[in-house]
């Protein structure tokens, strides 16, 4: 294995030592047993590859025949979580332990115990390997790799996020639909461009990318789409399928409805629609919908199944967990606008994946606040001042058991930032509670920003 220059891949930076090579294969080969020193060796290689701002080098493997092109790995850093390897499927598949890949040893599904201490659950993370956007061949929808995703913070037994939900969250997160910046309060459109750019960059083999698979126009014709998919070079281990992501106007009896420029379109998934978050009745539109298009046993093209997630509005489709959160976001958007007029730019994030809270004396804990607000102190020089974070929790009229689990994770969230709760219930006092919440959050931001 060797490190090559990203901009000039024919230029070899250095060969990895045998110890480093073995560490990379044990660390990232699914099912491999990791040695004590591996994590440190892997972290050092990743640091050489990615300087924290951009990728400088790729790691080229040596598992294919000498003289032929070798598979490559790149390094990725997300806002949350450490640097990690990503396979570059455009350069061919591995014949070594990395043919079966994991980003880190703890990424493999483990046992997930609802009664485990708060924050110690298997964290929910974005999809890191482009091939995981496709179904494995022959293992159907309910196979172990296609089953529910572990993790998910405070939940209810049996309410794990389906795999399709994790795909949706990854797409929305990467496109920036899950965040709002003070200076782009009317955003939305740019995120669709970012979604397309992200999809085009997710290579699945030498000529196939996620952009070939992902569609965003609900008026597409499933038969024509599958004919197109059938003609593409496809990874051997994967079923041929496509994805459709859009914001539906409503969901009626398991059918997603969208008014388009071509009239009213219906997306009717044969195997049903599953709901994310806590809005299971799907009666509070609009909704994000991610549908899988494939062929049934008779070869007929269809929408096989779909996943739906509450969205704030059609124009600003921030994914939300419930109508209670919609009320909180109403207030927060007003706060952001107000503090902006006072000179503070706040970025609001709806975390779709678990946030890591590092511990001095043990393994990291994980939590997923309902919202996070980040902003800098205002300085006289105009330079970016200290970064601040507020953690916002919506306390809606949910079951007591859920609220109890939620509050158990609040101690962990307080290590990420100042926690402010917003109580939402269906009584006449909500207007007053909203006003108090608005004042409290606004005052806290101005105070921390030094105004």
Q: Which residues bind Zn ion (CB under 5 A)?
A: 61, 63, 94, 96, 98
Nearer to Zn ion, 98 or 164 (CB): 98
Nearer to Zn ion, 237 or 415 (CB): 237
Q: Min. distance of Cβ 228 from Zn ion in angstroms?
A: 31
Q: Min. distance of Cβ 203 from Zn ion in angstroms?
A: 16
Cβ(256)–Cβ(291) below 8 Å: yes
Q: Min. distance of Cβ 411 from Zn ion in angstroms?
A: 43
Nearer to Zn ion, 72 or 166 (CB): 72
Tell me whether strands 287-295 and 273-275 are parallel, antiparallel or unpaired: unpaired
The three-state secondary structure class of 168 is helix
The token pair that represents 222 in the structure block: 């499933």
Nearer to Zn ion, 71 or 155 (CB): 71
Length of the chain: 451
Nearer to Zn ion, 89 or 94 (CB): 94
Nearer to Zn ion, 100 or 359 (CB): 100
Cβ(4)–Cβ(60) below 8 Å: yes
Nearer to Zn ion, 61 or 171 (CB): 61
Q: Min. distance of Cβ 67 from Zn ion in angstroms?
A: 16
The backbone region for 139, taken as left when phi is positive above 0, alpha when psi lies in -120 to 50, beta otherwise, is: alpha
* DSSP H/E element including 169: helix 163-175
Residue 298: Cβ-neighbour burial (10 angstroms; 0-12, 13-18, 19+): exposed
Cβ(98)–Cβ(63) below 8 Å: yes
Q: Min. distance of Cβ 93 from Zn ion in angstroms?
A: 8
Q: Min. distance of Cβ 138 from Zn ion in angstroms?
A: 24
Return the axis-axis angle of helices 430-449 and 323-341, rounded to nearest 10°: 40
Q: Min. distance of Cβ 4 from Zn ion in angstroms?
A: 14
The token pair that represents 435 in the structure block: 């006003």
Comparing CA positions, the residue from 439, 181, 451, 183 lying closest to residue 342 is 451
Cβ atoms < 10 Å from Cβ of 439:
11
């Amino acid at each position: 294995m060797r490190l090559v220059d990203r901009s000039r891949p024919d230029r070899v930076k250095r060969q990895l030592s045998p110890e480093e090579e073995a560490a990379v294969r044990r660390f990232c080969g699914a099912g491999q047993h990791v040695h004590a020193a591996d994590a440190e060796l892997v972290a050092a290689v990743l640091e050489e590859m990615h300087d924290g701002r951009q990728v400088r080098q790729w790691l080229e493997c040596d598992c294919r025949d000498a003289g032929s092109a070798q598979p490559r790995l790149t390094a990725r850093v997300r806002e949350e979580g450490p640097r990690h390897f990503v396979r570059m499927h455009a350069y061919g598949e591995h014949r070594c332990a990395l043919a079966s890949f994991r980003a880190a040893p703890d990424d493999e599904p483990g046992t997930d115990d609802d009664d485990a201490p708060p924050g110690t659950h298997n964290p929910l993370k974005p999809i890191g390997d482009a091939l995981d956007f496709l179904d494995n061949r022959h293992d159907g929808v309910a196979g172990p790799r296609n089953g529910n995703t572990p993790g998910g913070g405070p939940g209810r037994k049996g309410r794990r996020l389906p795999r399709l939900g994790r795909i949706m969250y990854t797409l929305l997160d990467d496109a920036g639909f899950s965040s709002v910046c003070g200076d782009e309060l009317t955003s939305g459109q740019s995120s669709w461009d970012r979604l397309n750019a992200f999809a085009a960059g997710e290579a699945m083999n030498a000529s196939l990318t996620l952009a070939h698979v992902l569609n965003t126009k609900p008026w597409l014709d499933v038969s024509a789409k599958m004919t197109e998919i059938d003609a593409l070079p496809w990874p051997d281990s994967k079923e041929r399928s496509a994805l459709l992501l859009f914001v539906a106007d409503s969901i009626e009896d398991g059918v997603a409805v969208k008014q388009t420029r071509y009239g009213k379109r219906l997306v009717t998934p044969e195997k049903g629609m599953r709901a994310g978050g806590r809005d299971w009745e799907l009666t509070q539109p609009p909704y994000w919908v991610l549908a899988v298009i494939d062929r049934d046993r008779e070869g007929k093209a269809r929408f096989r199944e779909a996943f739906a997630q509450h969205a704030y509005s059609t124009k600003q489709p921030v994914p939300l967990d419930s109508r209670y959160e919609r009320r909180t976001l109403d207030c927060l958007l007003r706060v952001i606008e107000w503090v902006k007029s006072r000179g503070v730019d706040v970025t609001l994030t709806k975390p779709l994946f678990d946030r890591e809270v590092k511990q001095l004396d043990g393994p990291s804990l994980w939590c997923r606040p309902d919202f996070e607000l980040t902003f800098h102190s205002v300085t006289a020089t105009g330079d970016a001042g200290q970064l601040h974070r507020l953690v916002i929790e919506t306390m809606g009229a949910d079951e007591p058991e859920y609220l109890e689990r939620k509050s158990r994770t609040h101690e962990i969230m307080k290590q990420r930032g100042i926690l402010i709760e917003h109580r939402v219930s269906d009584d006449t006092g909500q207007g007053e509670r909203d006003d108090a919440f608005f004042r409290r959050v606004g005052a806290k931001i101005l105070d921390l920003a030094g105004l």
